[in-house]
Structure 1
């Protein structure tokens, strides 16, 4: 649940000044999925988590709640209660004549602590005072509107602790948005690009799912007290990056003398309480880069000091996919290894039991390959025979587990077979939803919900089938889900960022994009190369540019072409069946398959351009087969568009091989129009399976040839045997 909580502040309104600020937070931003909050039956509840950053001192808080309830409720016995961290702060009768209500309640600031605070809504609902009633009657409901309901916080910023062990409080994932100014002495060179990219990745890794962004500015000296002689933007934390000699105008001599190697130091802004400066330096450009890598890796509360000199960073290369970390083919994992701890659920429809794991984005196996779940579970006596546990994969129903024994049961190694194709590339969420029904129920019957219990144990196991690695590219959905293929190596080896210009806007866009990939990877990408010149060697490229009028020769395979003053684009024009030669028609008779419909496009060349739109396009490298180019392009500033695209709700929409979007719009537009190619590291057997799965007629031809060769070999062998051992024997006619 918590991994989704930082989404709650992405679009919240915030006004900030030196004394206090106010945040208005819709409840919808605290929810995993959209939709109203529904409280049903005689008793029901719903809980949210309200994050409060460590740097905030909450002065006041209030909840504005808009809700509706059934007009069949009896007010004397029906109420809605609100609790904060299990303390009741408000309760209202549910009046049948006032079905739509707006209520405001103050929340004592002392109830809200730094971290995640539980906000719980509980409803008791009845439709009669004197007669017995059905527990789950359809008339028993209350509905909260999370889009119009909100929490309003007034707070003041407090100085964060000046300790490298507390960097999580500086770049706090519970902040409305993590925003940092990256300051450089002029000029900015390619070594600075690498160090700045690692700093951006380190900030993004700490933000988890919270929005993040950066500003790039030239460092300006300013005399003042303390070791820092630098002016930086107010109301922003800042990072000063550069080798020791280049930072001499901004740091006092005593601090410069302490920079004897890769250096990290955290300092307070004497002008603006609550703001901090992180100094990333070293004696050489290589040491600055090492310090930046150390910053990206220091996500454990050590060292507990405001500065440190890094002696060495051992960042050994990973095996493919293991930085993510992805599960290995043919292996068995306990649920405990996947982060699940033994847990129980109680009630009619309790919260689901969930676990997550990461599947390689290019996993390929035969169609009949199956993953096996070996469940260790128990359920209590007193359940009706139609009780069940619903198993969902990524929110989609997959299987049901019957709980038929009214006396309860304990299952060990309860086997569930799941087709591997039901799992998706990248992150998968498996959820078990208990639906428990008491053995005795009905009107005028005391409903005993205490025995409604089920437990799932952490020694349950998941066994994956053997699979290989092969994928069809370009596919931006694989990039959005798992950074494929740019995260294969785990450290960015074989990846080069090609910047079409040297503007701060383009540099920030590159840092933002790499920070997003690092967040998917869970680790920084120190081996990624940067450059302003067109690369010549084999590499997977990321091309970024704003103010683009004409594209370089690398884009000859791109479905989008910009050649000033013309733009060429393939517009969708319905669907068409691909032409079928005679052998494919015979193939369909021998191997019945689903009819294929391909999108039909019409190429239009025109003088109109992208305008306010930005484009994300992916295609095969024209000079190196099986190498991918992914480009982010705009005719205006590119960084605001890239920052908008990395918002979680926007990122989840990416697919196809060509995406257009406009900053601030709710949806993006995509197509799959480029020429596909295949890439992978399949072992020989699965490589053949993968090939023949897409070309079954070739399998038939190979089988016929193999059969003919075998028959011919047997014929020749038998003829030689006869000639050698029975030369005088005559053949007998049948």
Structure 2
């Protein structure tokens, strides 16, 4: 990742981009200006195209169907890999095909190597391996009956041979590579008419292909801070169900239509949003005119929640969250946010206060706690067992708190329950890696095999890092094969790692240096909803693009831990409160506060300095983070675009994995393509936490040893000078 001066990049933008590039897209009639800073193409994306006959076509690169990066490398006589394609229930598949670009070792030429393809354990096709100098592209027509809603398993099985006599099944000549960027699964589908109920919410809001892509949150014309918070919580309710996707979130204003044919709970609703699922939110006084329900049938204390076909498109849904007052609307939204809420199989529900949890932040997946013990099963790693293979791997994934601080004395303890089979070579081992760095090895050398419970491994706590961590267990099992044509029997090779194994964490302290956008990227800190520190979210104004930007960012931050910001203060304004604050707005709106002495003038202690050397952002989005001028040791993070339109587009780009993964330092700018992303280190930082004084001094001395040596040298020089002065004084005094 390149790190350059933020002001330099903005200045370069002003020089390189003509004036027409600053015009809003809808106002410009010229062709888009080439982005000279975007030297690389954007990563592959899932593409959805609406056809002339009303159907849709989806193209999904195989690279997006697996967590590993790069091509699929199938090595060995019988190698396989399974990909999972999630198809949303809204789609009725009309036709599908799999395009595979692959190449195989030329050593297998003439030995009939081939690829076997199956879907959901049903054989689909087999294609000849390409042993020529270049890869080939094969098209496989898929039986649409083999695909179903939910996850579909596509298994690629390489049957490979390079000799008839004495073949080693692990020979390096046995390989096939599949290009996952240029291999795709494509299908054409028709959207089913929506017929779900509230009990089907989790299925209707699906991350699968052909599922939720656009969400429009619809309100009445007048907006206040309640609507801001309702939209943020609704966005989190959607994003948390989508797991890893952030939909295109927008805001629109409701208008009334007279219709005798429209159906559903909002038959008189019209918006300017196309191809979107709708969520209509507001009190009955604000939105009652669009609904089919009589508000008098709902009590003052109840929240009202309903779902049905959208009046704009019967294949999409509209969700209604309403009530007689702000509190009752909040009850309906709280019920929507709980994925485990026991909705009945009906299209509407009335929510009482005792039914929904309000005014509390919660997260479905929080970081581990210091000083606690966890079984591997608790952390998602169940018992892992292999037989007949020379290699086994299991990984323990977990998250440490963002402000986690390990001292030299802290120890992480692993207690492993494992076993291995007999008649293995004594050089068989279990290697242990922490965050992909080798840390420990266990020999598996007993010729009779062994079952071990509670095998202790001590690791320095500093090998763990704030945020995501991975502990990998890689077993290398060997067996002697004697003679040129010895049978390659590996069935006695066996290894098992029990889910009852433990990881015991030390009672660590907390200490963190801020600002740190890299920490926000990995953990959301301090805006993730799992911290004890209070934080606020401010929107600079109530325009639709600003609302959409705030809701999109809130969805992204909440999705990190599947959090729910019910107890977070959200409001409109420019002056941050005296706590950690996220401020979102167009630079044209933020100019008064950015130019005011409130931010640009240093405080009495000289700690508060300018967050940003102001420049015209052009097409750039920007995020700047620094110490909050309203309160020491709290954070202010400002996200902005030059105007409302560029702000909304910039935030939509920012939450994409290709951009979000590059966040670092104290400031960043970007445009649509990921290669335009640039970061700048924070100039002024501060520390928060409960680290003891002695550890704090040692930590800072280790960070800046030269400064420490200069300080100590100065102290010693000062002491020596004082002693010399005292000695001269005493000599003069004692002279006769």
Range class of TM-score, shorter chain: 0.7 to 0.9
Which of 605, 615, 631 is 1:624 aligned to? 631
Q: TM-score, normalised by structure 1?
A: 0.82
Partner of 2:70: 35
CA shift digits 1:545-596 (9 cap, x unpaired): 1243722545434665355xxx3xxxxxxxxxxxxxxxxxxxxxxxxxxxxx
Q: Report if aligned partners of 1:323, 1:490 keep a CA contact under 8 Å in 2.
A: no
Alpha-carbon deviation of 1:271?
5.3
Q: Report if aligned partners of 1:366, 1:689 keep a CA contact under 8 Å in 2.
A: no
Partner of 2:270: 231
Which of 28, 48, 55 is 2:90 aligned to? 55
Which of 456, 467, 491 is 1:450 aligned to? 491
Partner of 2:578: 538
Q: Return closer, same or farther for 1:144/1:314 CA change in 2, 3 Å cut-off.
A: closer
Which of 232, 250, 253 is 1:218 aligned to? 253
Does 2:542 match 1:487? no
Alpha-carbon deviation of 1:180?
0.7
* SS, match of residue 412 in structure 1: strand
Does 2:148 match 1:108? no
Give me the whole-angstrom Cα distance separating, in 2, the residues matched to 1:562 and 1:692. Answer: 31
Alpha-carbon deviation of 1:18?
6.9
Q: Report if aligned partners of 1:244, 1:281 keep a CA contact under 8 Å in 2.
A: yes
Give me the whole-angstrom Cα distance separating, in 2, the residues matched to 1:108 and 1:256. Answer: 52
Which of 676, 679, 689 is 1:680 aligned to? 689
* SS, match of residue 530 in structure 1: strand
Alpha-carbon deviation of 1:537?
3.9
Q: Report if aligned partners of 2:526, 2:535 keep a CA contact under 8 Å in 1.
A: no
* SS, match of residue 561 in structure 1: coil
Does 2:651 match 1:642? yes
Q: Return closer, same or farther for 1:393/1:212 CA change in 2, 3 Å cut-off.
A: farther
Q: Return closer, same or farther for 1:163/1:538 CA change in 2, 3 Å cut-off.
A: same
Give me the whole-angstrom Cα distance separating, in 1, the residues matched to 2:205 and 2:51. Answer: 17
CA shift digits 1:627-667 (9 cap, x unpaired): 10011111132111111111123222211111111123345
Alpha-carbon deviation of 1:11?
3.6
Give me the whole-angstrom Cα distance separating, in 1, the residues matched to 2:342 and 2:195. Answer: 12
Q: Return closer, same or farther for 1:334/1:266 CA change in 2, 3 Å cut-off.
A: same
Does 2:210 match 1:159? no
CA shift digits 1:610-631 (9 cap, x unpaired): 2111111110012311010011
Give me the whole-angstrom Cα distance separating, in 2, the residues matched to 1:446 and 1:243. Answer: 76
* SS, match of residue 292 in structure 1: helix
Q: Return closer, same or farther for 1:136/1:340 CA change in 2, 3 Å cut-off.
A: closer
Alpha-carbon deviation of 1:502?
2.8
Which of 287, 294, 299 is 1:247 aligned to? 287
Alpha-carbon deviation of 1:360?
0.7
Q: Return closer, same or farther for 1:302/1:441 CA change in 2, 3 Å cut-off.
A: farther
Partner of 1:521: 561
Alpha-carbon deviation of 1:283?
0.7
Partner of 2:357: 314
Which of 294, 319, 337 is 2:335 aligned to? 294
Q: TM-score, normalised by structure 2?
A: 0.82
Higher normalized contact order (CA 8 Å, seq sep 6+, divided by chain length)? 2
Partner of 1:386: 427
* SS, match of residue 333 in structure 1: strand
CA shift digits 1:176-228 (9 cap, x unpaired): 55311111111111111111111111111111101312111110111224442
Name the count of aligned residue pairs. 650
1:113-124 equivalences under 5 Å are 113-124=148-159
Alpha-carbon deviation of 1:133?
2.5
Does 2:297 match 1:257? yes
Which of 652, 655, 658 is 2:664 aligned to? 655
Does 2:96 match 1:45? no
Q: Return closer, same or farther for 1:243/1:145 CA change in 2, 3 Å cut-off.
A: same
* SS, match of residue 290 in structure 1: helix
Q: Report if aligned partners of 1:75, 1:95 keep a CA contact under 8 Å in 2.
A: no
Q: Report if aligned partners of 1:406, 1:439 keep a CA contact under 8 Å in 2.
A: no
Does 2:456 match 1:410? no
Partner of 2:386: 345
Which of 236, 249, 263 is 1:201 aligned to? 236
Give me the whole-angstrom Cα distance separating, in 1, the residues matched to 2:92 and 2:248. Answer: 24
Give me the whole-angstrom Cα distance separating, in 1, the residues matched to 2:56 and 2:392. Answer: 35
Once structures 1 and 2 are overlaid, which stretch shifts more, 39-48 or 531-540? 531-540
1:277-288 equivalences under 5 Å are 277-288=318-329
Which of 547, 551, 561 is 2:612 aligned to? 561
Once structures 1 and 2 are overlaid, which stretch shifts more, 421-430 or 686-695? 686-695
Q: Report if aligned partners of 1:293, 1:524 keep a CA contact under 8 Å in 2.
A: no
Q: Return closer, same or farther for 1:293/1:203 CA change in 2, 3 Å cut-off.
A: same
Q: Return closer, same or farther for 1:196/1:482 CA change in 2, 3 Å cut-off.
A: same
Partner of 2:475: 434
* SS, match of residue 248 in structure 1: helix
* SS, match of residue 545 in structure 1: strand
Alpha-carbon deviation of 1:253?
4.7
Q: Return closer, same or farther for 1:437/1:234 CA change in 2, 3 Å cut-off.
A: same
Q: Return closer, same or farther for 1:443/1:32 CA change in 2, 3 Å cut-off.
A: farther
Partner of 2:408: 367
Once structures 1 and 2 are overlaid, which stretch shifts more, 534-543 or 512-521? 534-543
Q: Report if aligned partners of 1:164, 1:304 keep a CA contact under 8 Å in 2.
A: yes
Once structures 1 and 2 are overlaid, which stretch shifts more, 530-539 or 645-654? 530-539
Once structures 1 and 2 are overlaid, which stretch shifts more, 262-271 or 455-464? 262-271
Alpha-carbon RMSD = 2.9
Q: Return closer, same or farther for 1:639/1:625 CA change in 2, 3 Å cut-off.
A: same
1:560-579 equivalences under 5 Å are 560-561=611-612, 563=614, 567=615
Which of 453, 456, 463 is 1:422 aligned to? 463
Which of 538, 562, 567 is 1:498 aligned to? 538
Give me the whole-angstrom Cα distance separating, in 2, the residues matched to 1:120 and 1:217. Answer: 43
Q: Return closer, same or farther for 1:87/1:164 CA change in 2, 3 Å cut-off.
A: same
Q: Return closer, same or farther for 1:517/1:94 CA change in 2, 3 Å cut-off.
A: closer
Partner of 1:726: none
Does 2:217 match 1:182? yes
Partner of 1:470: 511
Q: Report if aligned partners of 1:194, 1:289 keep a CA contact under 8 Å in 2.
A: no
Partner of 1:148: 182
Q: Report if aligned partners of 1:58, 1:156 keep a CA contact under 8 Å in 2.
A: yes
Once structures 1 and 2 are overlaid, which stretch shifts more, 334-343 or 301-310? 301-310
Which of 148, 164, 169 is 1:135 aligned to? 169
Give me the whole-angstrom Cα distance separating, in 2, the residues matched to 1:184 and 1:385. Answer: 70
Give me the whole-angstrom Cα distance separating, in 2, the residues matched to 1:555 and 1:442. Answer: 78
Q: Report if aligned partners of 1:206, 1:299 keep a CA contact under 8 Å in 2.
A: no
- Runs of 5+ consecutive residues of structure 2 not aligned to the other structure: 1-41, 601-607, 720-736
Q: Return closer, same or farther for 1:208/1:454 CA change in 2, 3 Å cut-off.
A: same
Give me the whole-angstrom Cα distance separating, in 2, the residues matched to 1:477 and 1:69. Answer: 40
